[in-house]
Amino acid sequence: MASARYVTLQVLVTLALATAPWVVLSDPPPLQDFCVADLTGTTSLDGFPCKPAASVVDDDFFSGAMISAGDTGNPFGVNSTRATVSAFPGLNTLGLSITRTDLAPGGLNPPHSHPRASELVLVLKGEVMVGFTSGLNRLYSKVVKENELYVVPRGLQHFQLNVGTGDAVFMAMFDAQSPGVIVPTFSLFSTKPAMPMEVLTKTFLMDEDEISALKTKFAPF
């Protein structure tokens, strides 16, 4: 009799889960309280190996990377200071990281994507236009002001443009310890070895001289 009641309970639970309007999902938790990265070790699928617990110190969980403004004296007028696991060992296995981005007046964080993370933008100073494109080539954008937020879904091309009259600063928070970054212009025009010229001329419907002129503008700065 007890066995029959147990089977009935299993059936009811299965039906409830199958017909529920929503199910809450999340990443699995770390297997330990913390796993401070041993940056001398090789990376694995889920991050760096752990330092021995006896060698973990308070500063492993601290970073002052966000304190100072970055140098925006480059053609884009932008500087991003990243606190990812490679610079902040305490983030290892926790699925978190943060970047401070400084923008000069008119400065642009050019279109790029993060293949391993969604991004939550918090503007600390100025007015920043944040925009991203969906898979249907639809542009979503908004001018984000001090203490306002804007979210960019994982893997989508996005940009940040300073549209205010002075400097702008924002924090970008990620749900990955190492979100990665892909900038299409550099991925096309600044690769080693070089992208085949035929691929570029056919992609952009330009001749070789035009492509060569573009490549000179996207050398690493």
Per-residue pLDDT of the chain (221 residues; tens, 9 = 90+): 555 555 555 655 455 445 555 555 555 667 778 999 999 887 766 688 999 999 999 999 999 999 999 999 999 999 999 999 999 999 999 999 999 999 999 999 999 999 999 999 999 999 999 999 998 999 999 999 999 999 999 999 999 999 999 999 999 999 999 999 999 999 999 999 999 999 999 999 999 999 999 999 887 65
Helix/strand/coil for 216: helix
**Does residue 148 have a known ligand-binding role?**
no
Fold classified for 64-182: Jelly Rolls (2.60.120)
**Does residue 119 have a known ligand-binding role?**
yes
**Does residue 112 have a known ligand-binding role?**
yes
pTM summary value: 0.82
Residues of the chain with CATH 2.60.120.10: 64-182
Give the integer Cα–Cα distance in Å for 29 and 97: 16
Cβ within 8 Å of residue 18, ≥6 positions away: none
C-alpha to C-alpha distances, 200 to 118, 213, 215, nearest whole angstrom: 29, 12, 10
- Beta-bridged to residue 128, according to DSSP, are 144, 162
Give the integer Cα–Cα distance in Å for 12 and 15: 5
Nearest to 109 by CA among 148, 62, 70, 55: 70
Q: Are 215 and 197 in contact (CB under 8 A)?
A: no
